[in-house]
Structure 1
Amino acid sequence: DFSLKSKTLNSVLKTIASKDVKRAEEVAWFFVDLNDVYKQMHRVLREDGIAGIVIGNRTVKDTYIPSSKITSELCENLGFETVCGIDRNIPYKTIPLINSPTNEAGVVGRTMSKENIIVVQK
């Protein structure tokens, strides 16, 4: 069941599915699993407790996935309030700066050079 309450995610999944249904399902399951983590965070965090979530936006099948925005939407749906979002450069990456986002030989794209820190409060 991919029925997560995120308009942004639903739009992204629809775009990816128009190119590759299997890949869209993989992305959907990633966010289903991530949402389960956020549910547990909400369960164990004290009232008024604060949590920081580090996540990176990425591209799949030439479709930009704003994971930071999706994270805020998922967390707010669970009862968190988004306090702020902070963009941070990743200065010392150990993964390549380019990869093959379409999994096609010779087709390359840039990988994440920034990460986002989403601060939420219960």
Structure 2
Amino acid sequence: MSEGLFGVHGAALEIRSQRLGLLGSNIANAATPGYKARDIDFDAALEARLGGASGDEAIGTATRYRVPVMPSLDGNTVEMATEQTAFAENAVAYTATLSFLQGRIETVTRAIRGE
């Protein structure tokens, strides 16, 4: 029922949540020697998820290592400006998706009550 009720937005929220965690991990490891920054290709993950892949499979196939513009001498590929920008953009999209779902739930709740 949730697939039909929420459409693509339920899967999108799940992927965006996972992406926030991964980007946060990149930021937290900015000073860790040898750490390789990763990101989730949202479009590829959503396509895989809608194609029938489980959440973990979709995330796994869409996770990519970042190619740094200026790699550090210690092998760390985290570039804070890139990570912070990606985190902020994803957070805005997460909030928008969450607001849409909240509106959909409120509509269904009013329909159930007969309002």
TM-score tier by shorter-chain length is 0.3 to 0.5
Normalised by the size of structure 1, how large is the TM-score? 0.31
Bigger strand share: 1
Name the structure with the higher helix share.
2
Bigger-Rg structure (1/2): 2
Length-normalised TM-score, structure 2: 0.33
